[in-house]
């Protein structure tokens, strides 16, 4: 039953987000006792696959286009309102390379809002249950599932950007426990000093997106997209 409710929510949320950088849900159907979603087909692959196949060469224009696209789609989701125009407070909570689809048209689209949090949702996440990929979770997301807002997605975007630019994850440890400890406490080197050593102009962007103080992060995904565009 929990999985079915999550499936229905995943269909409900993207169906109300009308943006070229979000994969829309076309329909939801059933076959005997099976429910399924019909999504717009994206010819291409995930950003995760692209990064895995391009470990030693990461062309900056391509990386920036993909992440800027995803941030604009994310912003559209964050700004979603109800029929009365009241903000729904949607948070993706699982922004990661696996959930960014890159089409052969070069455009990036965000998928998988199934674990997103809406403050006024009909069902509620069970207390103490964390959802998402640990390596991309913000500190407050790990510490308390109740205290999350759109800035956890901006932390994740900073991690994805850092990883994509350098070829190295800034905080991943040898196991989940070590990764959690790193996220909560460990400092990370500027991307310009790590791995593929991208230009230093990205150092401050990653630092701001991945600040452990939420108030020091970008206020919106669009603000971060504009910084990358500049």
Low-confidence stretches of the chain (pLDDT < 70) are 10, 114-132, 145-146
Which is the catalytic residue, given 2, 27, 69, 94? 94
Q: Residue 115's pLDDT is what?
A: 64
Q: Write the pLDDT tens digit of every residue in 148-206.
A: 899 999 999 999 999 999 999 999 999 999 999 999 999 999 999 999 999 999 999 99
Residue (of 114, 226, 97) closest to 157 by Cα position: 97
93, 141, 166, 181 from 145: Cα distances, Å: 10, 5, 30, 17
- The model's pTM is 0.89
94 is catalytic: yes
Dump the DSSP string for 129-172. Answer: ---S-GGG--HHHHH-TTS--THHHHHHHHHHHHHHHHSS-SS-
């Amino acid at each position: 039953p929990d999985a079915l409710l999550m499936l229905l929510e995943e269909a409900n949320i993207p169906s109300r987000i009308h943006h070229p950088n979000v994969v829309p849900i076309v329909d939801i159907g059933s076959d005997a006792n099976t429910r399924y979603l019909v999504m717009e087909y994206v010819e291409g692959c995930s950003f995760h696959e692209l990064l895995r196949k391009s470990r030693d060469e990461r062309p900056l224009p391509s990386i920036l286009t993909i992440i800027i696209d995803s941030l604009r789609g994310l912003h559209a989701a964050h700004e979603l309102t109800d029929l009365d125009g009241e903000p729904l407070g949607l948070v993706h909570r699982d922004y990661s390379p696996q959930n960014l689809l890159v089409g052969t048209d070069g455009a990036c689209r965000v998928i998988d809002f199934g674990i997103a949090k809406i403050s006024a949702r009909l069902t509620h996440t069970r207390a103490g249950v964390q959802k998402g990929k640990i390596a991309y979770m913000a500190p407050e997301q790990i510490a308390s599932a109740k205290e999350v807002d759109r800035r956890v997605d901006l932390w994740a975007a900073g991690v994805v950007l850092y990883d994509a630019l350098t070829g190295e994850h800034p905080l991943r440890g040898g196991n989940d426990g070590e990764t959690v400890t790193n996220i909560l406490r460990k400092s990370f080197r500027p991307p310009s000093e790590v791995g593929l050593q991208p230009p230093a102009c990205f150092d401050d962007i990653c630092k701001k997106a991945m600040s452990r103080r939420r108030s020091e992060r970008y206020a919106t995904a669009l603000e971060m997209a504009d910084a990358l565009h500049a």
